[in-house]
Amino acid sequence: MLTVEEFKKLALSFENATEEPHFEKASFRVNKKIFATLNSSKCAISLKLTPVDQSVFCSFDSENIYQANGPWGKQGWTIFEFNKLKEDLIEDALTLSYCNVAPKNLALKYLK
């Protein structure tokens, strides 16, 4: 399980990742594109996944991993209640989210 500070450190460990405000949340971006948002008061993050990856992650723990409301969820945005999930699962999902929005040359550095 991750703390808010541990999540921030992990998100900022990706090349060219920055933290910027996004309404009442923190956003993590690469080349100005959001790959994660953090709602620290709810210990929840929203990650940009492909529909297939979203389905896979939601099947692991539908109580703590679920599609965002409305059209955002249909675009792959997925909510993770990170204080209830294992760190390696969050790290894998965050890596996929980063790679989904990062330029190809950066994404290739993180894909296994």
CATH number, position 65? 3.90.1150.30
Nearest to 64 by CA among 46, 78, 81, 83: 81
Give a yes or no: residue 111 inside a domain: no
pLDDT value of residue 70: 94
User: Which position has the token pair 């389905």?
Assistant: 55
Give a yes or no: residue 112 inside a domain: no
Decide if pLDDT at 1 tops 90. no
pLDDT value of residue 112: 72
Give a yes or no: residue 63 inside a domain: yes
Parallel, antiparallel or unpaired: strands 17-22 and 77-81: unpaired
Q: Summarize pLDDT for 44-75 with one digit per residue, the tens.
A: 999 999 999 999 999 999 999 999 999 999 99
Supply φ then ψ for residue 82, to 5 degrees. Answer: -70, -20
Structure tokens at 111: 């894909």
Do residues 25 and 39 make contact, with C-beta atoms less than 8 angstroms apart? yes
pLDDT value of residue 50: 97
Structural domain that includes position 29:
4-105
Give a yes or no: residue 101 inside a domain: yes
Structure tokens at 107: 């994404």
Q: Summarize pLDDT for 73-86 with one digit per residue, the tens.
A: 999 999 999 999 99
The tally of domains found in the chain comes to 1
